[in-house]
Amino acid sequence: MNGSGRYFIELAYKGAAYSGFQVQDNANAVQAEVEKALRIYFRKHIEALPETAWAGQVPFTLTGSSRTDAGVNARQNFFHTDCPIPLAENTDRHIYHLNAILPPDIVIHGIIPVAADAHCRFDATARSYSYYLYAAKDPFLSDRAFFFPYRLDHEALDAAAALLMNYEDFTSFSKRNTQVHSFICRIEESNWHQDGDCLVYTVRANRFLRGMVRGLVGTMLRVGRGKVDIDGFKAIIEAGDCSRADFSVPGHGLFLNRVFFPYL
């Protein structure tokens, strides 16, 4: 069918109700909801295809760009899928109806035709995350930022964030049971700043390890509270031992801001 091919699906979501971005056994994930919406909406189109057109394949099996953990939010993330239906036609209408099917905490922003070999995970050149904290009790922030009512040394936080730019081996900030073979990451941005009532840490890198941002934030908060000095923080980075880092900050304060591609 003309127009069929590979597509990137751009979406945003609030992660509180999900075990993570990608499908997992015995737990609901963002991917499962999007695949279900695609199959419901396009069912009649798929059934109208000749049996040989899509034989032996399951339409709308999605590949995710970034494996966000349980509770983590995203302002922008991507799936890619190979589809026998020309999604590039009537895109706005498709997006409208898919969003009507999806739960209110997931929204599709775009359906983008790409090259047949485009890959939303491996083609990404960088990702940007922000972690939000607030110090004064606020019911309107409780589900999207971490309540942290402690005095912090902002100069120490800034020094710790800047120090990270000098390193590439982040073994200390990767949780165990990871499947990666390299712990090398190039951090391109690392800073703390104020955003309204929230203190925000933003980091951009070419890749991230499992639990890395939360490990960075949790460990820097120890620096900000004076529990670890900057030399101690340097020693944690260089130790290559995740037991030295602090991964205790919750997922709901973390947002994936953007995924960067050379062709989008």
Query: Active-site residue numbers?
Result: 69
Q: List, in sequence order, every residue forming a beta bridge with 147; answer none if it has no partner.
A: 134
Residue 41 and residue 55: Cα distance in Å, rounded?
A: 20
Helix, strand, coil shares, percent, the chain, to 5 = 30, 25, 45
Query: Could you give the count of Cα atoms lying within 13 Å of 87 in the half-sphere of its Cβ?
Result: 26
Residue type, 201: Y
Q: How does strand 146-147 pair with strand 126-134?
A: parallel
Contacts 24+ apart (CB under 8 A), 149-154: 150/225, 151/225, 152/199, 152/221, 152/224, 152/225, 153/223, 153/224, 153/225, 153/226, 154/192, 154/224
